[in-house]
């Protein structure tokens, strides 16, 4: 019987599915089981979330390991190079939070357009500030999506329902996805110049680090709003602070930060900034989907 080590906890239902597929499941108890290097022998698959690190030492200590499944998005806790060298497949579940993140983008766009967070703050201070909070509609506005992958695509689909014009920019061919969503493919400069809302959905790479900086803010409309639910560091925070203070743009919404939690809170405290603590994927459904997809990948992978 193939053996699966659950090094970090996953949903009960996912564990039940793995067992029902005829696999033996062992739940690791960190306090009693000693270092994972000592426990990994004899297992065909190991499942981790973010707590357990699958280092080169763990991989070298394994004798039967064929599959590492990371229940979640990043792979920072798995030594992928060592796994590749040993012919061990590595899987994760980046599809799980896609819809949750896409919905969060709209929560942020509406919050900015209608000053929801600012209005609520005034109300709690017993201030009835109706006059200074006139908003704008999303209807017929242009949404520029930077990074047209899983999340960017879901954002575009939802924007159609609001009758928004969608511009999309990516470094790979997105013709088919544009056709499906009615989005218009464009270059970065045109997108920055003509969008009312700009939403970032790129990974953090050397090429995307600080990709929205002083020059990019200078191209944007004074009435533009920017939303970052991708990774902190894609937007240069110093440049954003300057753009907000100098009213170069109308507002920003950030779910992700260069340091989490931030070391400096000045940006977060800007009145025209909506901030959330990396919440975009924190939904009940996304969590459940992590479990489902993890079970799928374990069962498929060990077939």
The residues that touch ligand NAD, with contacts defined as CB under 6 A, are: 73, 94, 97-98, 101, 146-152, 169-172, 201-205, 207-208, 229-231, 255-256, 278, 280-281
Alpha carbons 204 and 187: distance in angstroms, whole number: 19
Smaller CB distance to ligand NAD: residue 244 or 254? 254
Q: How far is the CB of 123 from ligand NAD (least distance, A)?
A: 28
Q: Which is nearer to ligand NAD, 5 or 109 (CB)?
A: 109
**Between 36 and 145, whose beta carbon lies closer to ligand NAD?**
145
Mind telling me the catalytic residues? 231, 260, 278
Q: Is 93 exposed, middle or buried (0-12, 13-18, 19+ CB in 10 A)?
A: buried
**Least CB distance to ligand NAD at residue 158 (A):** 14
Tell me the torsion sign for CA atoms 252, 256, 261, 262: negative
Structure tokens at 8: 């970090």
Q: Which two tokens stand for residue 14?
A: 């996912």
> Shortest gap between Cβ of 71 and ligand NAD (angstroms)?
14
User: Which residue, chain included where needed, has tokens 């050397």?
Assistant: 206
- What's the CA gap between 39 and 29, in Å, rounded? 10
Shortest approach of ligand NAD to residue 148 CB, angstroms? Answer: 5
| Cα dihedral: 189, 190, 196, 199 (round 10) | -50
Residues 6+ apart with CB under 8 A from 63: 41, 42
Q: Which is nearer to ligand NAD, 138 or 211 (CB)?
A: 211
Cβ nearer to ligand NAD, comparing 104 with 239: 104
Comparing every residue's Cβ against ligand NAD, the nearest one is 149
Residues 251, 221 contacting (CB under 8 angstroms): no
CB of 29 to ligand NAD, least distance (A): 29
How do strand 67-70 and strand 45-48 relate by DSSP bridges?
parallel
């Amino acid at each position: 019987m193939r053996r699966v080590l659950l090094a970090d906890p996953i949903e009960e239902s996912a564990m039940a599915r793995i067992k029902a597929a005829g696999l033996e499941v062992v739940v690791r108890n960190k306090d009693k089981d000693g270092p994972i290097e000592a426990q990994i022998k004899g297992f065909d698959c190991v499942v981790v979330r973010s707590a357990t690190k699958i280092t080169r030492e763990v991989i070298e200590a394994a004798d039967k390991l064929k599959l590492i499944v990371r229940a979640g998005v990043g792979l920072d806790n798995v030594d992928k190079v060592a796994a590749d060298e040993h012919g061990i497949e590595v899987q994760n579940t980046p599809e799980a939070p896609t819809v949750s993140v896409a919905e969060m983008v709209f929560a942020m766009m509406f919050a900015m357009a209608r000053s929801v967070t600012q209005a609520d703050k005034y109300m709690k201070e017993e201030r009835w500030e109706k006059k200074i909070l006139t908003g704008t509609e999303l209807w017929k506005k242009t949404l520029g999506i930077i990074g047209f992958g899983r999340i960017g695509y879901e954002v575009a689909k939802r924007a159609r329902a609001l009758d928004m014009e969608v511009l999309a920019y990516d470094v790979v061919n997105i013709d088919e996805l544009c056709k499906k969503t009615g989005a218009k493919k464009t270059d970065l400069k045109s997108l920055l110049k003509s969008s009312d809302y700009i939403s970032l959905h790129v990974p953090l790479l050397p090429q995307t680090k600080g990709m929205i900086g002083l020059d990019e803010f200078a191209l944007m409309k004074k009435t533009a709003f920017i939303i970052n639910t991708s990774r902190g560091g894609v937007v240069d925070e110093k440049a954003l602070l300057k753009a907000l203070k100098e009213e170069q743009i109308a507002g920003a919404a950030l779910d992700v930060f260069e340091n989490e939690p931030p070391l400096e809170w000045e940006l977060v405290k800007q009145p025209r900034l909506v901030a959330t603590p990396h919440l975009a994927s924190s939904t009940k459904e996304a969590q459940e989907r992590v479990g489902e997809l993890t079970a799928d990948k374990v069962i498929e992978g060990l077939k």
